[in-house]
Amino acid sequence: MPGEGIKDLAEFIIEKLDDVSLGFEFVQDELIINVKPEGVCKTLQFLRDNKECSCQVLIDICGVDYPDRPERFEVIYQLLSMRQNHRVRVKVAVAEDVLVPTATGIFSSAGWYEREVWDMYGVMFEGNPDLRRILTDYGFEGHPQRKDFPLTGYVELRYDEELKRVVYEPVTLTQDFRSFDYLSPWEGMTDVQLPGDEKGAKPEFGWKDSKAG
């Protein structure tokens, strides 16, 4: 259970940010403040500068994808107060077409974190001076941590010896190999039963011993 001190802090924050906050919650004793997208900067500024909060370290900004929700994405700011010895998370729910104000004017480290969220999820941060890809290649298409992005991706790259450069080619896997049914993926091992193959059709001449040479 969260201590009385962090509970009092939560009520204090909500009282001071009444116009932009949407309430608070505790998850595994960690304080989470839910705010409106337009209230992100005000919230972060308050948490950094107020002496009761003193959250002067931005540890991370991360994203979460909930495709079935109208507000599909959550942007989560992880803050740490070394002086007060507590952590506060700020959570913002946004739809695909909603811009989130950049936090680079409050925490300089937010620039790279926002680039990562944009790269992985496609969430746009209004005012970020350098919003470009940071983990994928500059020619990459799509946002790989969205739930509707296939595990195999849409293109693959390789080094072409003739062209002496990296080239992109479409992934040639069929849809059957994109939606795994937990049968053996090894095309040539049709007569060897591996863990997970129990529901598969038994070969005409039975199973071979998978431990045999």
Domain boundaries of the chain, sorted by first residue? 4-126
Q: Mean pLDDT in runs of 10 for the chain (213 residues)?
A: 89 96 93 96 97 96 95 97 95 95 96 97 96 87 90 83 88 59 52 56 60 53
Which CATH fold topology does 4-126 show?
Beta Polymerase; domain 2 (3.30.460)
What does the chain come to in residues? 213
pLDDT at residue 12, rounded to an integer: 96
CA distance 141 to 172: 17
CA distance 103 to 82: 20
Task: At 156, list the tokens.
Answer: 């693959």
Helix (H, G, I), strand (E, B) or coil at 73: strand
pTM value?
0.76
pLDDT tens-place string over residues 52-79: 999 999 999 999 999 999 999 999 999 9
